[in-house]
């Protein structure tokens, strides 16, 4: 009976997608959080269920530009930029502590100030350590988790690609920091992150890496980002806590994972299947930023997933 219901829902979503949705107009704003201005993109009726879209590295809420349009007819969608990313403030490190703990505290406070107390969290890359901190702090607020190459398992780290950063955790020398910066923060390095593993690299919008390169070449930014790479070791230490949250709270989880991701291989996605009973698991033939090639599929999958669980 459940399979018949799911098929009917999926069919209704597909028919609706061919007819087209009347999407809500996207607005852009700033919310001051403890003296730091947080930029956000927002669309949809705030009385409808909220989707909070948490971006990864080296990107910003820009990565959700199309998904916001696709889902704002039925949901209240909001995507903030972390401090130092996108169009949010870039305070100096003596004014703001750049750590994943502090990012989570900032975004948690941002949501509270915006009056958003119940939500689904979409988590990509850095969005996972930010989102899982929020979820473990407020499990009662989380309706679902929408995982898009957001890792919570040690086996989900490609140790070969991560080798320089793993070495940084052991011995953070100035020379190693300089080598990492030269390789990752180049324009070519930014482009590679978006195009590696994609089926059609020529179709990936260059605005993505050009905007990221602009933001990451601001004075003082390399040191801030290298400090975040170093702080990432503390995320790995919290993986058991996040896995315990999944097992104990059993939030419904949608996984949409680019299988050719050089940083977070599919073994990270598989971890969720061990810990969560209600999971919709999708492995996609694309790279680290699945929305760039699979945006239409992901939007329809999110819509169907939420409707099937009564979130509409």
Read off the pLDDT of residues 280-299 as tens digits, 9 standing for 90 and up.
999 999 999 999 999 999 99
The catalytic residue positions are 288
Determine what percent of the chain is predicted with pLDDT higher than 90: 90
CA atoms within 13 A of residue 264's CA, in its CB half-sphere: 28
pLDDT (mean) for 159-179: 95
Across the chain, mean pLDDT equals 93
DSSP annotation of 115 = T
Q: Token digits for 18?
A: 């061919």
pLDDT of residue 24: 81
So where are the chain's domains?
A: 2-158+235-308
pLDDT (mean) for 167-193: 93
Measure the CA–CA gap between 216 and 190, rounded to whole angstroms: 10
Intra-chain end-to-end CA distance of the chain, in Å: 21
CA nearest to 25, candidates 82, 61, 77: 77
pLDDT (mean) for 194-208: 98
Q: Token digits for 166?
A: 């793993």
- In 10 A of CB 101, how many CB atoms? 15
Read off the pLDDT of residues 102-122 as tens digits, 9 standing for 90 and up.
999 999 999 999 999 999 999
Measure the CA–CA gap between 154 and 32, rounded to whole angstroms: 35
- Going by their DSSP bridges, the two strands 50-54 and 76-80 should be labelled as parallel
What pTM value is reported for the model?
0.92
Determine what percent of the chain is predicted with pLDDT higher than 70: 93
pLDDT of residue 183: 85
pLDDT of residue 22: 64
Residue 4 has pLDDT above 70, yes or no: no
pLDDT (mean) for 10-31: 64
Burial readout 135-157 (b: 16 or more C-beta within 10 A, e: otherwise): bbeeeebbbbbbbbbbbbbeebb
Residue 197 has pLDDT above 50, yes or no: yes
CA nearest to 308, candidates 74, 73, 3, 48: 3
pLDDT (mean) for 76-95: 98
Q: Give the model's confidence band at 220: pLDDT under 50 very low, under 70 low, under 90 confident, else very high.
A: very high
Residue 198 has pLDDT above 60, yes or no: yes
Residue 177 has φ and ψ, to the nearest 5°, of -60, -40
CA nearest to 229, candidates 175, 287, 184: 184
pLDDT of residue 235: 98
Residue 255 has pLDDT above 90, yes or no: yes
Measure the CA–CA gap between 102 and 79, rounded to whole angstroms: 18
Q: How far is CA 158 from the centre of its chain?
A: 18
Q: Which CATH number fits domain 2-158+235-308: 3.40.50.720, 3.40.50.1000, 3.40.50.1820, 3.60.20.10?
A: 3.40.50.1820
Measure the CA–CA gap between 80 and 181, rounded to whole angstroms: 25
Q: Give the model's confidence band at 21: pLDDT under 50 very low, under 70 low, under 90 confident, else very high.
A: low
| Residues in Cβ contact with 189 at an 8 Å cutoff, skipping those fewer than 6 apart | 183
| Residues in Cβ contact with 95 at an 8 Å cutoff, skipping those fewer than 6 apart | 35
Q: Quote the crossing angle between the two packed helices 221-249 and 174-184, to the nearest 10°.
A: 80
pLDDT (mean) for 124-136: 98
pLDDT (mean) for 146-168: 97
């Amino acid at each position: 009976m459940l399979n018949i219901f799911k098929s009917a829902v999926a069919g209704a979503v597909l028919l609706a997608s061919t007819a087209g949705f009347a999407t809500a107009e996207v607005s852009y704003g700033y919310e001051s959080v403890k003296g730091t201005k947080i930029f956000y993109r927002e669309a949809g009726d705030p009385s409808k269920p909220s989707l909070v879209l948490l971006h990864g590295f080296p990107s910003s809420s820009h990565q959700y530009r199309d998904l916001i349009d696709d889902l704002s007819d039925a949901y209240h969608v909001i995507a903030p930029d972390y401090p130092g990313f996108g169009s949010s403030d870039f305070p100096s490190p003596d004014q703001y502590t750049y750590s994943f703990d502090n990012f989570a505290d900032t975004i948690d406070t941002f949501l509270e100030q915006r009056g958003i107390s119940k939500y689904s969290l979409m988590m990509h890359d850095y969005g996972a350590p930010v989102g899982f901190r929020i979820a473990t702090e407020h499990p009662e607020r989380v309706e679902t988790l929408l995982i898009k190459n957001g890792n919570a398992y040690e086996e989900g780290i490609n140790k070969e690609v991560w080798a320089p950063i793993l070495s940084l955790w052991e011995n953070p020398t100035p020379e190693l920091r300089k080598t990492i910066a030269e390789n990752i923060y180049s324009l070519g390095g930014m482009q590679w992150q978006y195009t590696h593993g994609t089926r059609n690299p020529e179709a990936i919008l260059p605005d993505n890496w050009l905007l990221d390169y602009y933001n990451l070449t601001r004075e003082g930014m390399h040191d801030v980002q290298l400090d975040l790479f170093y702080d990432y070791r503390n995320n790995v230490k919290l993986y058991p806590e996040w896995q315990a949250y999944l097992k104990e709270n059993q939030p419904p989880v949608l996984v949409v994972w680019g299988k050719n991701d050089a940083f977070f291989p599919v073994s990270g996605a598989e971890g969720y299947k061990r810990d969560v009973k209600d999971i919709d698991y999708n492995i996609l033939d694309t790279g680290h930023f699945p929305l760039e090639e699979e945006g239409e599929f992901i939007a329809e999958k999110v819509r169907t997933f939420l409707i099937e669980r009564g979130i509409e």
